[in-house]
């Protein structure tokens, strides 16, 4: 049986799109749909999100630099990552990661951001999970609990 990190990556990369929630300055959640790429880093996990650095998103992350990334599919499989989030300066490297990754997680970011990795409308969020939770509907129906992982 794969460990929790591997199971999370498998589910996330199969589902592809997730709901990413931030918190505004009044501590109210705000969600949007994003397309992260996850990479295992030893016993840890790192997520990358290409995104538009809107004033609202910047204000949310300045107020609370944490996000919740939630995946769900029609078979009711679930994968959730609770993460620290930070703007990452090396936009070109992450751009290339997305181009090199296999589909459907990999894609050409230029189709969304024609200005390239140096364009003003492209930014990168680095996600560092401190908690993962994964579960398949079949396992949950059989009485198995969600599988969890806690980082540092």
Mean pLDDT of the chain: 95
Upstream peptide bond of 9 is cis (omega within 30 degrees of 0): no
> pTM for the full model?
0.94
Q: Does domain 4-150 have CATH number 2.30.110.10?
A: yes
How do the domains of the chain map onto residue ranges?
A: 4-150
pLDDT in tens, 65-118: 999 999 999 989 999 999 999 999 999 999 999 999 999 999 999 999 999 999
């Amino acid at each position: 049986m794969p460990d929790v990190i591997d199971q999370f990556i498998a589910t996330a990369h199969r589902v592809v799109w997730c709901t990413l929630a931030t918190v505004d300055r009044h501590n109210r959640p705000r969600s949007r749909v994003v397309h992260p790429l996850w990479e295992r880093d030893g016993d840890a996990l790192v997520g990358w999100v290409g995104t538009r650095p809107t004033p609202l998103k910047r204000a949310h992350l300045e107020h609370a630099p944490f996000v919740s990334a939630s995946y769900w599919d029609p078979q009711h499989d679930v994968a959730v990552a609770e993460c620290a989030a930070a703007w990452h300066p090396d936009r070109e490297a992450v751009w290339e990661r997305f181009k090199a990754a296999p589909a459907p997680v990999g894609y050409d970011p230029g189709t969304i951001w024609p200005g390239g990795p140096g364009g003003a409308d492209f930014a990168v969020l680095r996600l560092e999970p401190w908690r993962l939770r994964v579960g398949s509907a079949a396992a949950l129906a059989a009485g198995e609990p969600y599988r969890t992982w806690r980082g540092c």
